[in-house]
Structure 1
Amino acid sequence: MPPSAQTQLAIFDRLANVLANDDRPALYRAADTALAELVGHKLFTLLLVLPGGKEVQRFWSTNETAYPLSGRKPMGDTPWGDLVIKRHQPFLGRDMDAIRWAFFDHELIASLGLGSAINVPIISAKTLLGTIAILDAEHHYDEEKLAIALRVAPYLIDAFRSEIAELG
């Protein structure tokens, strides 16, 4: 069950306060904490969509051993890429069947005790900048949790723009 509306507002207020400080690492930690409190997760990563839309590159991870920073994934020409990268739609993977459909590294995901995922597109002016990826145990995520997770994306738009600018 998600937190009460009052608790959700307090969580988003904390996130907004961090956003005002223009400190990207603090913002990413705050987004991690907010999503953990709002919908729960065992893995939180942030990925940029690289020019051309064929690959995503990780620049934030709560498990750098399994999912190191600067790790790239060829996701553009996949069913997941069609949904998230081309159509700018979120991905809700409720179980391992959905994880296998979406991710070539599904065995690694399963080995970490993960079996459900949400990917939230970060979109600015109709351009996909990247995604938030959260994963947890199988059957952890549902439509209600997806709807809540989607509300975090706008807080990260400017930070994602800065990350892209630094790529050159």
Structure 2
Amino acid sequence: MQSSLSIENEPQARQRQNADIARLARVIRAPGQPAAIFHEVCAIAAEAIGFRLFTIMAYDSQREEVERVFTNMPEVYPAGGRKKKSGTAWAKRILADLEPFRATTPEGLRDAFDDHAVMTAMGLGSILNIPIAYDGRCVGTMNLTHEEGWYTPHDEETGLLLGAFLVPALVARGLSSASR
């Protein structure tokens, strides 16, 4: 039930993490953005943290809403889906305080998300939301959802590291949206 990094010994974990960072550094320089970096972050998150559902959301602070820009389950959670996010404890924690949010039970999902019934019907019982931040403001979120009890504080740290590679894509998206 734990991420693969937590069961490896320390030198192996460090070596793997360095290899993952090198992979991301190569991909972010490649053409085909932002799809290339979205797919690579998704692949490494699957290996390092684990999930069943993975999404990346861009945050529009003027409208106080998020828009799904990447998903591994487009049939259930398609790209382009939008959600208003204001006035909740989740929004304060993620969007204002720039702190990860972790719930490890279906009750935690219910308390934080309107679509909790869809998630629990899929057998999902825990979530890890990582704020993607640049220059002191939230530009998006990376969201991993899995079976009940899956995520740990260590996964938050790994998620923040992986999420940093999404910053250029989400900032560029915000800049292009602002110029329309």
TM-score range, shorter chain: over 0.9
Alignment TM-score, normalising by the size of structure 1: 0.94
Which residue of the other structure, out of 135, 138, 143, is the alignment partner of 1:133? 143
| 1:39 aligned residue | 49
| 1:15 aligned residue | 24
Q: Would you identify which runs of 4 or more consecutive aligned residues in structure 1 move more than 6 Å?
A: none
Q: What are the ranges of 5 or more consecutive residues in structure 1 without an aligned counterpart?
A: none
Aligned residues: 168
Query: What CA distance in whole angstroms lies between the structure 2 residues aligned with 1:34 and 1:104?
Result: 28
Larger radius of gyration: 2
**Aligned partner letter, 2:112:** A
Query: What CA distance in whole angstroms lies between the structure 1 residues aligned with 2:175 and 2:122?
Result: 33
- The Cα shift of 1:53 comes to 5.3
Query: What CA distance in whole angstroms lies between the structure 1 residues aligned with 2:157 and 2:111?
Result: 22
Query: What CA distance in whole angstroms lies between the structure 1 residues aligned with 2:28 and 2:168?
Result: 9
Query: What CA distance in whole angstroms lies between the structure 1 residues aligned with 2:126 and 2:107?
Result: 9
Residue by residue over 1:117-157, the C-alpha shift from the partner in whole angstroms, topping out at 9 and shown as x without a partner, is 11111111111101101111111101111111111122111
**Aligned partner letter, 1:21:** A
Q: What are the ranges of 5 or more consecutive residues in structure 2 without an aligned counterpart?
A: 6-12
Query: What CA distance in whole angstroms lies between the structure 1 residues aligned with 2:136 and 2:112?
Result: 23
- The Cα shift of 1:165 comes to 2.4
Secondary structure of the equivalent of 2:165? helix
- The Cα shift of 1:52 comes to 2.3
Among all aligned residue pairs of Structure 1 and Structure 2, give the percentage whose two residues are the same amino acid.
Answer: 27
Alignment TM-score, normalising by the size of structure 2: 0.88
- The Cα shift of 1:9 comes to 1.5
Which residue of the other structure, out of 104, 124, 139, is the alignment partner of 1:94? 104
Which residue of the other structure, out of 121, 128, 132, is the alignment partner of 2:131? 121
Query: What CA distance in whole angstroms lies between the structure 2 residues aligned with 1:38 and 1:126?
Result: 26
